[in-house]
Amino acid sequence: MTFKTSQAGASGAARAKAIAAALQTQIEHLKSELLSSEILGRQPTAIDAIAAEALATATVRSRHLRLLGRNDHAERQEISALLRDGPFRMVAAA
């Protein structure tokens, strides 16, 4: 069988790539903010970089799911766990 790519299919694939690129840009931006010395109060380590990437990815994924009207409960639980157990613990403002 021969399959032909329709214009609509190509358009959908291009849209999916554009969305993925936009989400990746958001992840990288949030990750760089989390790793700033103002947030950490010190120079980031390799563990901080891994934790920042995980937290940024879960946060952006949660936002995206909510925008689509889908359930983001699992992502919110992951974010809470990362904030509770990782280097980005929530601290009361002074």
Tens digit of each residue's pLDDT (9 = 90 or more) over 44-81: 899 999 999 999 999 999 999 999 999 999 999 999 99
How far apart CA 40 and CA 18 sit, in angstroms, is 32
Q: Is the dihedral of CA 59, 65, 69, 75 positive or negative?
A: negative
Q: From the centroid of its chain, how far is CA 11?
A: 25
Whether the predicted model's global pTM rises above the 0.95 cut: no
Percent of the chain clearing pLDDT 90 (strictly above): 60
Q: How confident is the model at residue 91 (pLDDT cuts 50, 70, 90)?
A: low
